[in-house]
Amino acid sequence: MAKRKKQKQIFRYDCTMTGETYKTTREAPSPDDLVSVQAYYELNPEEDDRPADIKKELGVESSDS
């Protein structure tokens, strides 16, 4: 007997700050609280531990320089 392939359910969510749309395969427990990585780092600049070349590529102004 052949196994049937499971079909993945896709959930689409919008970032509340930037408006970007994301697709996931898991349902979010509180989709109204979701923010993108970019929005998170804008809210918490002291936790931005990305390398300098990545920040430069994204056009983020760093306060370390």
SS3 track for 1-65: CCCCCCCCCCEEEECCCCCCEEEECCCCCCHHHCCCHHHHHHHCHHHCCCCHHHHHHHCCCCCCC
Percent of the chain with pLDDT over 90: 28
CA distance 58 to 38: 9
Q: pLDDT tens digits for 19-46?
A: 889 899 999 999 888 888 888 988 998 9
Residue 10 pLDDT exceeds 50: yes
Cα gap 27→44, rounded to integer Å: 25
- pLDDT (0 to 100) of residue 64: 56
- pLDDT for 13: 93
pTM exceeding the 0.85 threshold for the entire prediction: no
Size (the chain), residues:
65
